[in-house]
A and B are shown apart, each in its own frame.
Chain A
Amino acid sequence: MNWKRKDLLGLQNLSAEEIKLILDTAVPMKEILGRAIKKVPALRGRTVVTLFYEPSTRTRTSFELAAKYLSADSVNISTATSSVVKGETLKDTARTLAAMGADVVILRHPMAGAPNLLARTIRAAVINAGDGAHEHPTQALLDMFTVREKKGELAGLNVAIIGDVLHSRVARSNIWGFTKMGARVRICGPATMIPPEIEATGVQVCTRIEEALDGADVVMMLRIQLERQQQGLFPSIREYARLFGLNRERLALARPGALVMHPGPMNRGVEISPEVADGINSVINEQVTNGVAVRMALLYLLGGGGIPDA
């Protein structure tokens, strides 16, 4: 199949075929990453803009490297940490980007739906690099790519997503992605951090981590924002770690060879114990490498480049 969409705003509206196309395209891209000279001319002459309204060195660098390896010109616009840039609206910024001749705009924004607004406004392709509590599709795609690489197949796997699902765009994108590919998804976290009516997305909600881990092939831990305690969403870090932290004993409830994932950055000793984070089940570092490959695939598909040299 061919890629037909202008933008990548989330995984909710992608078909399993489209997801498979992205993952398949990332395979040759990862091969490029293994070369001594990591550069192909696929996007030569194209301009990729990273527009970040929220700081995330990790995601931004991953996209910038992906653009460089495909020979695109990349421009980085980071705004102040404030969510509202005084005087200039997202629409004004969009017009500026259009005037600059951007072909692909990668947007990270603290508000859900900002990429949808941008995509409606400009002709350039828009990639959602995380919007509020809505979606973070490239993170989920790199997670799926990593799992597929290790397990061969996504269909039939048991995936446990544990932590602050309410505020997690990573969780939402992974729920859409994994369920579309035929995996079973369980979510688990404090009752105050389980979004209302989440079951309707096709996931099973577990209140105890032991239940979520039972027979899991993939264990995805989410970062807990420590300030959520001040917002009264959980009573203490200590109790959070005690009820929802992943340690070696708990991991033993999962299938042998279960993968441990984390979108980073980790609170070691809170949601994940150091021994598990650095243990043999952990694929956390590979997630980072695969992130570049998946983003190359997306830039390639959305940027309208030539045949990749692979």
Chain B
Amino acid sequence: MHKLLIKGGRVIDPQAGKMFAADILIVEGEIAAVGPGLEPGEGAVMDVAGKLVAPGLIDMHVHFREPGFEAKETIASGSRAAARGGFTAVACMPNTDPVADNRAVISYIKARAKEAGLVKVYPIGALTRGSRGEELTEMADLKEAGAVALSDDGRSVASAAVMRRAMQYARMVGLPVISHCEEPTLSAGGVMHEGYISTVLGLPGIPAAAEEIMVARDIILSEYTGCPLHIAHVSTAGSVRLIREAKARGVPVTAEVTPHHFTLTDRAVADYDTSTKVNPPLRTEEDVAALKEALADGTIDVIATDHAPHTLEEKDVEYQQAPFGLVGLETALGLVWTELVIPGVLSPVEAIRKLTVNPARILGLQEGVLKVGGDADITIIDPELTEVVDPATFASKGRNTPFAGRRLQGLPVATIVKGQVVYNRNLAMIS
């Protein structure tokens, strides 16, 4: 019988909103007991004194690029990056080639994830065929195959009529819709936030209004159809206001923010560093302040990375030529701790809630909590550990990060999925 005792740490229970000293006993991949002074019997012991023991982190927004773009990332390399970043589960966006708009691709992703055998990979199905924004996908079939949500991420559904029907149908099927909010005629050609910096750099801008118009439209459609709507990667103060107001009115809307959007501003684009080219673009100081406020007051439910790996050659070009996206899995927790927890924007418990129970609730997953009888998905965090980000050490194939050289504090030191240690950074294991 496989047993593992996680001993001497402080357990974070985001559901109860508590942090307390306790051991956790894992038997056959499930949590068998949580409490003080547990004994392992004949099993192994992981000494986590001084560390935090959290439910396994969930990243509800990653791009694993397989099938179709395996040079950027595979499900296996993405899984390794997730494990190294402290994530026990991820939800991957359907903008692969072919697009995950049918049962075969969803099944393929699940099979590849099982082969990789590291973290749980939940596929997100496309909202429309080919993510072209025209015809609905077979949503019921996608759900049966294992899709946990629907999205045309990478672009907005331009037609309000198509979006309305997609939401009506998704609601019937019982899947949430995740919206990438970008009014395409306003953002066309843009490569960074439209403002003073884009003016100075001479780069075509994407105005905040491009995002906010779609946030407003999709909130109105969510209210009209009753379909749960999750707004991906919120980046502007205006979007925050719209979401806050909609939540107050009882619209079934939730939202996520990425670590790069709450950490960086468009000033990072100076000198045309293509690792800062991301969609939606990095915004202004005021936007970053609004995002932090929204995290603190609960307007933003989730922290997700939008992990978007690209090859070195693709990014080593003129700014306008480079593809959008940066890798986020392996810097996420460090950024959450350094930028939010240490400065007091979020308590450790609140931060973990946005990385565990909240995404699980939105996607309808039985995860994100530490409960007896549940899967032993656990992330061990060392809140004191610091490290300078070195992309050369990434498990992801992507090296496209604007955080290289930045010192982060508060890092994952072990990742456990169904009782198996899939990442361990020098934690003593006593058998």
Contacts and interface: CB of A to CB of B under 8 A. Distances in A.
A131 interface: yes
Contacts of B318: 90, 109, 111, 113-114, 117
Contact of A91 (B196, B200, B316): B316
Contacts of B207: 196
Interface in B296-341: 313, 316-321
Interface string A110-151: 011110110000000000000111110000000000000000
Interface string A75-93: 0000000001000011100
A113 to B, nearest CB: 3
Interface residues of A, number: 25
B314 to A, nearest CB: 10
A166 B203 CA distance: 10
Query: Which 9 A-B pairs rank lowest in CB-CB distance, beginning with the nearest?
Result: A134-B202, A113-B272, A133-B202, A197-B196, A112-B202, A195-B199, A111-B318, A111-B320, A113-B319
Nearest to B196: A197
Contacts of A84: 321
A135 to B, nearest CB: 7
A91 B204 CA distance: 22
B319 to A, nearest CB: 5
Given A112-B203, A135-B202, A197 B320 contact: no
B174 interface: no
Interface in A146-177: 169, 172
A200 interface: yes
Given A89-B317, A91-B317, A112-B320, A201 B200 contact: yes
Interface of A: 12, 84, 89-91, 109, 111-114, 116-117, 131-135, 169, 172, 195-198, 200-201
A111 B201 contact: no
Contacts of B205: 196
A134 B201 contact: yes
Q: State which size class the interface on B falls in.
A: 20 to 34
A39 B289 CA distance: 60
B319 A197 contact: no
Nearest to A201: B200
Contacts of A89: 313, 316-317
Nearest to A198: B199
B26 to A, nearest CB: 50
Contact of B201 (A90, A113, A198): A113
A172 B271 CA distance: 16
B203 A113 contact: yes
Given A195-B199, A196-B196, 15 more contacts: A12-B200, A89-B313, A112-B203, A112-B272, A113-B201, A113-B203, A113-B272, A113-B319, A113-B320, A117-B272, A132-B320, A133-B202, A172-B202, A196-B199, A196-B207
